Amino acid sequence: MSNPIDFYFDFSSPYGYFAAVEIDKLAAQHGRDVNWHPILLGPIFKALGTNSLVNIPVKGEYSRHDMERTARFHNIFYKAPSHFPIGTQVAARATLWVQQTQPSKAVELIKTLYSAYFTEDIDISVVDNVLRIAADLGIDRNALQAALESPELKDQLRQSTEAAGQAGVFGSPFMIVDGEQFWGFDRFPQLEALLKNGKI
């Protein structure tokens, strides 16, 4: 069986959202599975001495325009959220927990959380919002709420983020497949070429 695509994402990344909309379709067309890895870009940026695009002068204004242009170009519904960027620890922890306890619902949760933030302007840094979204998908709200505060789950997210950094991940989305790394939604054509031809 062909290797899966390791897909690293932060819920605060618009480009991660665009990629999350398309990655399953692209993978299926080439007989690949997707391993979804929620991460926190904040600690990675801190370790590298970098910052979010939108917080960098000139680049920030450009990137906000490019996010809307990219959504239009790919016909992906997108509404710039009123609070951006946000902390995504709650959404990432929820994803990790659901991946372990109800894996069949994990991808649906990821895509629903992304859509809530980038199409409905729902602040997914708020615990109650994440719990409501999860409950709407049939996930046990009380069990998830208890898990979100557990030191074990917090530590797992920290370890997962550190592991991503050690694997060379420095942004979102970030894909690794067959030893090749791809950063950004705009690298999907190159990713597709690799999946199709086995090389670039």
pLDDT in tens, 166-186: 999 999 999 999 999 999 999
Average pLDDT over residues 101-114: 98
Neighbours of 198 (CB within 10 A): 9
CA distances 70 to 25, 170, 174, Å, are 18, 21, 17
Rg, the chain, Cα only: 16
Main-chain phi, psi angles of 142, to 5 degrees:
-65, -40
The residue behind tokens 């599975």 is 33
pLDDT value of position 52: 75
pLDDT value of position 200: 86
pLDDT value of position 58: 86
Residues 6 or more apart whose Cβ sits within 8 Å of residue 143: 101
CA distances 135 to 49, 113, 130, 139, Å, are 38, 12, 9, 5
Quote the mean pLDDT of the chain. 95
pTM: 0.95
Give residue-wise pLDDT tens across range 42-93: 999 988 888 777 777 888 899 999 999 999 999 999 999 999 999 999 999 9
User: Which range is least confidently modeled, 43-47, 52-56, 94-98, 102-106?
Assistant: 52-56
pLDDT value of position 1: 58
